[in-house]
A and B are shown apart, each in its own frame.
Chain A
């Protein structure tokens, strides 16, 4: 097992290098630079832009810039944003807590909704409960989050005037009021994302339970006189969770990466909104750092999924 893990970790290095090279090249080939706005400002002579480009090394060949970036990254220097001139790691750390809170809560909400509903519908397939939950799940993951987000804003903010639709990370109130304000503003983004995730998970859970419930050991458990509750909880759900847990661990990078669109709609200052504004501003160091961390997370979590799989299912072995 440890051999396997080490091998996987070693493979990650060339994969990461390859991905970063591709990312860097694509970003370098894209038109524009972070000082594009200066070009259309008549008060700023072209030399100012040329000077800034030279100062930040944007005029060097792509290979030189890439090597510079890699060597700095290896040393732990993430560089600084061309737009805000702030260190990239600082920018990311500023945004991380909000992303973790909103997306983490959404994930938890998704799980809380999906597991019971998925199990219930699998236990009584094609009952009215199953029909309704299936319909809702399909509606849930067919509607894109930007649509549900806008509908939520329209209903809860504009018509009913209950909830604010602009997320503010700095809320000046204190005590219970602070928790209340945070909850109120986070409610809509969490609900939009959580229900979207939940809808997909429900379907997974349902099919996983259906797969398990037909197996012989479930019949055995029932035959030896175990109560229905024990049979379901100990024998069915536990085994059905194996593929679902794998799926969840693969979603970890998504939590870190932020839900770009939802963050944009509700102005949640998370990683996703940082990524999109950096892409729009051609802020290469920030885009590189975020996408690089995301790729690393995808690789690590897929490894983690494989390990968890082996732990949960003793039949699987990597040796």
Chain B
């Protein structure tokens, strides 16, 4: 690590991206360890495009035959700004492209941008209030019209119009996009924005052609013919679409990258279930690629033996974790339980939380349940690696948990359950119905019983548990139980949005119809302050350190108990060369996909 660290440091200093002096100052200021600095240095915020790690071998455009992909939920619409789920984003991404995509490391890779803006090349302003994108020249839409700055500006206007009812409105509503010239745009933010790479980037950044959608902005947006017959800049042009069933495309002869794409046609078939999709790729080879393999690792491994494909796994930020309720789910105040006006009778005792942390056998959960599809972790914030804390660790130790409880005055009663001041250590542990979750619940319950903590297991149907039904007390945001477990998704490589789920202003309550993101109702003034500071901190190193500190606060206070982080899993034919990213659509690098032999 030391050698790598030094090399990284030297490179940074050599490239002039960071002066040695300011780097050291920053290091001292936050008291970081060397390996951590390496990761921050190499990435230093969101700078520097990297070339794809996929070595593209074909020497001419086309000739690759048909590319057959399988999504067990079919795309239902092909306008990226109406996309309800990832299936729709992926279907749209075949035809539309953003200015830049997120690579597997969470770095930007230019697509329709000529270069990635940075402070060094003058693209990102020093005050963090604007970013200037230079667009690639000579790009044409599928219908032959040229791609220009006007299309970018139109896309922002289209998405920001409330009457359009786009799902990407949050990305575009507070920005102002100026046209500098035909191939340069300037994105202005209302306040200093360290994470400037949200508009025009990734799944919400796909650019739609002005000449196709101009007449259909606002209330008429549903009527645009291009909603169903997309005209984009992507490697494949539109052939046919049946919502929920199939999306077909054919090679676009004027695609802006040389010798690409490799395949003559593309097909994205929908429907069915994940296991049979895995079979169609790994076992029978009927298809080349299948998305989102929510399949037990055991089954995947069995299919892989002597099969025609394999599981492709790439790190992402999603985390399966147990949340601890800091409010009392049994007491009703002003028509709501788990109100911030109450405190939890058991879980506000730090000793109880620490004991719980020691009673979750993460290694066994990974080994026996998730395999390659869930990695045991001590951290809530795991990816990209530059934000991962190295100071935390996890342990499974029933003995130690018992000692902590004993020392805190929780004594075992005749029934084997610990109690203190007449309060028994009994809690309700809820989650959604899903086989791996029920198995995890059983593992935790067993260990807890040994330490004298009784757990009542509760499982709620996923469609109810994850619904935002205000009237239903069993949703995860109501959190009317003591501890609960589910996966929180991290949809972008910047942790700002991800870490807001521990801020006090995000507490889920009756007032905000339980739409707040802070489900545990943990409140901490220091965390709030740190978060506010990170929102405007422009120095990427300092900012990363802040998020690492936030993660450590959450872990040390046992606000949540991380269990496993969930990488993205796809099934890929052995002959296919693809590159996945945990931070963007499965098709983010589609032009570079090819098949051997």
CB distance from B550 to the nearest CB of A (A): 16
CB distance from A16 to the nearest CB of B (A): 27
Interface residues of B (CB under 8 A from A): 66, 70, 73-74, 76-77, 82, 84-85, 162, 165-167, 169-171, 204, 222, 227-228, 240, 242-246, 248, 265, 267, 269-273, 276, 279-280, 283-284, 286-287, 463-464, 466-469, 472, 489-492, 497-498, 501, 512-513, 515, 517
The residue on A at minimum CB distance from B272 is A267
**Which of B66, B243, B492, B512 has the most chain A CB atoms inside 10 A of its CB?**
B243
A153 to B276, CA, bound (A): 10
Stretch at the interface among A30-38, A133-141, A246-254: A30-38
Contact yes or no, B170 A45, CB < 8 A: yes
| Given A48-B170, A265-B276, 13 extra CB contacts under 8 A | A31-B464, A37-B84, A38-B84, A43-B492, A46-B468, A51-B165, A52-B165, A81-B243, A84-B243, A86-B243, A153-B276, A157-B284, A264-B272
CB-contact partner of A83 in B76, B246, B497, under 8 A: B76
Q: List 12 A-B contacts (CB under 8 A).
A: A34-B84, A38-B84, A42-B489, A42-B501, A43-B497, A44-B167, A46-B513, A83-B77, A84-B243, A166-B70, A170-B246, A277-B244
CB distance from B431 to the nearest CB of A (A): 15
Asked if A174 is at the interface of the complex by the 8 Å CB criterion, the answer is no
CB-contact partner of A42 in B167, B464, B517, under 8 A: B517
A73-93 CB contacts (< 8 Å) to partner B: 80-81, 83-86, 91
A269 to B243, CA, bound (A): 10
Asked if A94 is at the interface of the complex by the 8 Å CB criterion, the answer is yes
The residue on A at minimum CB distance from B472 is A31
Count residues of chain A with CB under 8 A from any CB of chain B.
48
The residue on A at minimum CB distance from B486 is A40
Contact yes or no, A169 B246, CB < 8 A: yes
The residue on A at minimum CB distance from B285 is A161
Contact yes or no, A166 B280, CB < 8 A: yes
Contact yes or no, A55 B497, CB < 8 A: no
Asked if A308 is at the interface of the complex by the 8 Å CB criterion, the answer is no
The residue on A at minimum CB distance from B74 is A277
Contact yes or no, A158 B222, CB < 8 A: no
| Given A39-B466, A48-B170, also A80-B222 (CB < 8 A) | yes
Contact yes or no, A269 B497, CB < 8 A: no
CB distance from A93 to the nearest CB of B (A): 11
Asked if A20 is at the interface of the complex by the 8 Å CB criterion, the answer is no
| Given A42-B491, A91-B243, A267-B271, also A170-B517 (CB < 8 A) | no
A165 to B501, CA, bound (A): 44
| Given A55-B165, A80-B222, A83-B76, also A31-B463 (CB < 8 A) | yes
CB distance from A52 to the nearest CB of B (A): 5
CB distance from A151 to the nearest CB of B (A): 13
CB distance from B109 to the nearest CB of A (A): 20
Which label, helix, strand, loop or mixed, suits the secondary structure of the A interface? loop
Contact yes or no, A49 B468, CB < 8 A: yes
Q: Which residues of the other chain, B, contact A44 by a CB distance below 8 angstroms?
A: 167, 170
Asked if A164 is at the interface of the complex by the 8 Å CB criterion, the answer is yes
Q: Which residues of the other chain, A, contact B489 by a CB distance below 8 angstroms?
A: 40-42
A85 to B223, CA, bound (A): 9
| Given A39-B466, A172-B265, also A164-B243 (CB < 8 A) | no
A302 to B39, CA, bound (A): 72
CB-contact partner of A170 in B240, B467, B513, under 8 A: B240
Contact yes or no, A161 B284, CB < 8 A: yes
CB-contact partner of A36 in B227, B245, B468, under 8 A: B468
The residue on B at minimum CB distance from A82 is B84
A39 to B462, CA, bound (A): 13
A48 to B166, CA, bound (A): 8
Contact yes or no, A31 B469, CB < 8 A: yes
CB distance from A263 to the nearest CB of B (A): 8
CB-contact partner of B466 in A36, A49, A164, A267, under 8 A: A36
The residue on B at minimum CB distance from A32 is B467
Asked if A121 is at the interface of the complex by the 8 Å CB criterion, the answer is no
Asked if A273 is at the interface of the complex by the 8 Å CB criterion, the answer is yes
Contact yes or no, B170 A166, CB < 8 A: no
Q: Which residues of the other chain, B, contact A153 by a CB distance below 8 angstroms?
A: 276, 279
Contact yes or no, B170 A165, CB < 8 A: no
Asked if A274 is at the interface of the complex by the 8 Å CB criterion, the answer is yes
Across the A-B interface, give the 8 residue pairs with the lowest CB-CB distance, nearest first. Answer: A269-B245, A84-B243, A39-B468, A46-B515, A84-B76, A267-B271, A267-B272, A32-B467
A74 to B74, CA, bound (A): 31
Contact yes or no, A269 B271, CB < 8 A: yes
Q: Which residues of the other chain, A, contact B265 by a CB distance below 8 angstroms?
A: 172
CB distance from A94 to the nearest CB of B (A): 5
A52 to B269, CA, bound (A): 27
CB distance from B573 to the nearest CB of A (A): 14
A80 to B227, CA, bound (A): 14
A94 to B464, CA, bound (A): 31
Contact yes or no, A31 B491, CB < 8 A: no
Q: Which residues of the other chain, B, contact A48 by a CB distance below 8 angstroms?
A: 165-167, 169-170
CB-contact partner of A84 in B73, B162, B169, B244, under 8 A: B244
Q: Which residues of the other chain, B, contact A273 by a CB distance below 8 angstroms?
A: 244-245, 271
CB distance from B423 to the nearest CB of A (A): 34
